[in-house]
Amino acid sequence: MREKIIRIIFSIFSGFGIVILIFIGVMLLFVNGFGMKEESVFVIFGLIMGIIAFGVLSAKVYDYLKRILEAEIKK
């Protein structure tokens, strides 16, 4: 059981790491390429990342709970 929890946490964080790297690259492109102010870009991307993080987290929790329920039904 402990290994399962560690694996779920690790998969969530590895997914977030890739997303954060992509967003940092796009953010630098916006600041340097289009001349936007850094604060406004941070606010925009913070909101987008928050929405994506909530969606990913809720999908993983839903999937995990669904698997638990299916295992309980099979018993």
Domain residues for the domain of 26 are 2-74
CB atoms within 10 A of CB 33: 8
Measured in residues, the chain has a length of: 75
Q: Of the candidates 33, 27, 62, which has an alpha carbon nearest to the alpha carbon of residue 47? A: 27
Query: Is the separation of the CB atoms in 45 and 26 below 8 Å?
Result: yes
Mean pLDDT rounded to a whole number for the chain: 75
What's the pLDDT at 45? 75
| H or E element, residue 45 | helix 38-74
pLDDT, residue 36, reads 66
What's the rounded Cα separation, in Å, for the pair 56 and 52? 6
The total number of structural domains that make up the chain: 1
pTM, full prediction: 0.42
